[in-house]
Amino acid sequence: MQLALVVGTVVATVKDDKMVGVPFMALRDLDLDNKPTGGSIIASDPIGVNRGEVVLYSKGSSARQTEMTRDRPNDAVICGIVDQWEVGGETKYTK
């Protein structure tokens, strides 16, 4: 799983029928110092996250393993809202 910042929402009216009802969020990947790495991704949101929150997301077939994304065409899903992380005993981020 990767750490990422929620930077926005994605609205798509015309899309595959199997994707209806799934909210999409725009994420920017973060490194361990809470700085953007340059990578970005659009992920489904089964939790209800807000812009500005730091989240964890999963990629690949694992992203279909939530109740909201089960059997849907989906390759990235938000798994949790991050409260804090530490590296080597040093707290790098606190919500």
Partner 1 sequence: MNLGRVIGTVVSTQKVSSLEGVKLLIVQPLDENLEPAGDPLVACDAQQAGPGELVTFIGGREAALPLPDPFNPSDATITSIVDEVSLD
Q: How far is the CB of 61 from partner 1 (least distance, A)?
A: 4
Spatial distance between the Cα atoms of 56 and 94, rounded to a whole number of angstroms: 14
Q: Please check whether residue 51 is in contact with residue 9, taking contact to mean a CB–CB distance below 8 angstroms.
A: yes
By beta-carbon proximity to partner 1, the closer residue of 1 and 10 is 1
Q: Please check whether residue 32 is in contact with residue 86, taking contact to mean a CB–CB distance below 8 angstroms.
A: no
Q: How far is the CB of 21 from partner 1 (least distance, A)?
A: 17
> Tokens 């919500």 — which residue?
95
Q: How far is the CB of 14 from partner 1 (least distance, A)?
A: 27
By beta-carbon proximity to partner 1, the closer residue of 26 and 64 is 64
Spatial distance between the Cα atoms of 37 and 18, rounded to a whole number of angstroms: 31
Q: Please check whether residue 52 is in contact with residue 6, taking contact to mean a CB–CB distance below 8 angstroms.
A: yes
Q: How far is the CB of 64 from partner 1 (least distance, A)?
A: 8
Q: Which residues bind partner 1 (CB under 8 A)?
A: 1-3, 31-32, 37, 46-47, 56, 58-66, 69, 77, 79-89, 92
By beta-carbon proximity to partner 1, the closer residue of 14 and 62 is 62
